[in-house]
Chain A
Amino acid sequence: GAGVSQSPRYKVAKRGQDVALRCDPISGHVSLFWYQQALGQGPEFLTYFQNEAQLDKSGLPSDRFFAERPEGSVSTLKIQRTQQEDSAVYLCASSRGLAGGETQYFGPGTRLLVL
């Protein structure tokens, strides 16, 4: 079946521009996660949705970052007034259930470069 998809795969933005990154999770998956992966590092948690509810946004680096999942399926991560330090790969993952320890399935990521 189809896995997690993300678009765009690559995004170049000028500093100060707003960007929107899309995630299509595996159909029927309840949980959705966003991670940020800087060059040479492991992914770092940003935020978590259970259906349409954003239960944890503790990893969002600043109030310029905003995520939503209004209908409990597709999610969008929006970054306002992008800065050079926002350059990273943004990964989306989904899992079937609600419990901890469920396998998270990752998408290919969106590589964001802020000039």
Chain B
Amino acid sequence: AQSVSQHNHHVILSEAASLELGCNYSYGGTVNLFWYVQYPGQHLQLLLKYFSGDPLVKGIKGFEAEFIKSKFSFNLRKPSVQWSDTAEYFCAVNAPDSSYKLIFGSGTRLLVRP
């Protein structure tokens, strides 16, 4: 069965630190990849997505992610975090043979200290 693994459940950083959140998926075929964010008290919002082409994807608020097919990974990065980045981050996979389903990881809670 397809699955998505997020390695870090909780991350605590100081403002201006760099961020990298890991995401690995288990699916051998073509996939679409997403990062969603949930700010405190708000609903899930799309940060960025990868379908094809350039494996380095840029999203909103300075986030980017790199698709490495050989490692089945889609890690999220930001060079310098802000207090307002405090949120829960979810990686998700959408596979063509079940093209409409999103399969989510368990999420990473990020706390950024001012």
Which A residues have a C-beta under 8 Å from some C-beta of B? 3-4, 31, 33, 35, 40-45, 48, 55-56, 59, 91, 93, 99-101, 103-109
Contact = CB atoms under 8 A, between A and B. Distances in A.
Contacts, number: 61
Nearest to B99: A100
B44 interface: yes
Interface stretch (B14-22, B67-75, B100-108): B100-108
B51 interface: yes
Contacts of B94: 100-101
A35 B92 CA distance: 13
Which secondary structure dominates where chain A touches chain B? loop
Contact-residue bracket for chain B: 20 to 34
Given A40-B106, A42-B106, A100 B43 contact: no
B8 interface: no
A41 B108 CA distance: 10
